[in-house]
Structure 1
């Protein structure tokens, strides 16, 4: 590795800082939801069109793989960034506010894409100084199961890759901090759709009906006993009913209700316990209230497990690089949200870490909120943190 490689790369990134912000704002203005990112994918491919790299579609969606030094011997490091938006109506007053009604980059994926595009361009410019190859994975559909990672893996995104890294910006973490955690790091996830069907009727004659709302309400309250009474108190688990569709009128008894639920876990054992107990409570509700249920249970994203050795190296490398914009590098602890990067981490040693993007006013605008906001200073921190890892990895 050329001794000046890291300083040259950092200088290039500084020169392209404004471009990162410009790219991020364009993407923020033109968001597309999961599995519908056609124009975003074309934008990404066009960015690389005249650069010295290999670009090809990957997976059954809009995934893109970019290879730098594709045929060069040595280690191969993959770096992933997602680019889908959410079906949320933006509630921010920005000059680059979303122009697509009901769709918004409310999780920072526009920032992920912007920093990786510029980092990729700079790496291509210095590719002769890299003792190995780099694969950039631009992934669609992180937000909606089954996600975009699985089909990209099946289509060879990790072929010949030795290790993989990725970054997520976090509005709950102060800008200027880089945070990471070794071992189990983000929760696994399951979703379920549940319908209870009874018999509708007139509110003045409940004896002639079979109230699905009562059955559904009983199910919701019993559900809370799983975490409080079926899980080891030292295990992590949560169950949320996010939708209870029982809309009706004052004087009508509902014959059917539909519920949507979310489950988060930190181990396979907890995943199994929660699923089995949900199924048991559903059956008990059927018997108790004489209703018929239909449960569609989707065990999807696994627990994201960071490789301990690689993660410790990444932490050391970023600290050693002494990046001016980084005020602190520390342990994030376990992060509540789920991520389909976890599928990549099942296949290869992985490190998925976080860059704070809390706005300058000190407010916290949560991810998936219509008011989500990021401090764009995080973009250069993402790029330089990744550059630090890449330079040390190939040194």
Structure 2
């Protein structure tokens, strides 16, 4: 076991719960560390249920195309914990030695006190961001917003709220407006808010919080928009119309994500010229989101000519976007669609699977080997059936893919395979395919 794994295991044991939303422990540790949160580069703070990662990756690509150095904080990771912390001093994931030193300093400063894993690792990230040069920090919320460990920033350049959907109900509430209130907890007095399109109840909640804080708010579809126009993307707000390439990330929802990213950079005073934006949009990289798998050991298990995709989306909102993308693929090139899915016990499988009714031929449910909180395949198959899909449990990803191969042999045509339902499962797929994020 390497040093990083050992220290992460120790930090995981500092609190009996994986999630315990509060800011008191975070402020205590930050004080012991000399308040790194007060020495950060300018911050753009990003909350939301779906699209946080895509919006952050798009902002990073545009900023780096303009020559800016970006620190980036995201979670969870797909393959390696280091993916959560990208340092703008070299644009790469934090190295093992640098990460270990920061985690060790936080462990020492914490002195064995109770603190969650996310809190103490976020403190380590803030320490690194404070001590390494960069022009901007793109800071993604872990869960919720109001009591999230990242919400220790007094005055960011801008706050961003992506699509709010039902997720983490155990911690955030089971009503969309209540969840939206938690997300809107990152809004700060006078700081611009850029908001994705929302359901009415969520939008009303976010708008009220912005008004309370006298924070100017811009909303996708009202104050700015992006749409496809003859194979290009047109971004428009009250000031200008910018002709741009379509997003390289798959799915129509990436048009709105790209627009939110552009509007956020503009609100933060960091939007470059149109040519630089275009260059950035062509280089966006956000693995595990409608990512094609075209080679590797898992692809080799699939029938010849198979089209294989992996996506880590895991809530009803993500299910709608992914199913819409798969429906568009079906219109372009009809193939039988097979889902191979693993999910966590904290998610809503029925809500996730329901948009695939009438689109997917079959769901093979599988275990996830990298987390103890995965649903049993039998349980997940039952829930897929509740969503109106045919489903069969399997004891491994390989067995589920073998079954798809057998079905495809009967069909007589190569299938379209979507491996989905969890970022943990997506991470397994990318690791086995030699596609670990860089």
TM range (shorter): under 0.3
Higher helix share: 2
Q: TM-score scaled to structure 1, two decimals?
A: 0.27
Structure number, greater radius of gyration: 1
TM norm structure 2:
0.25
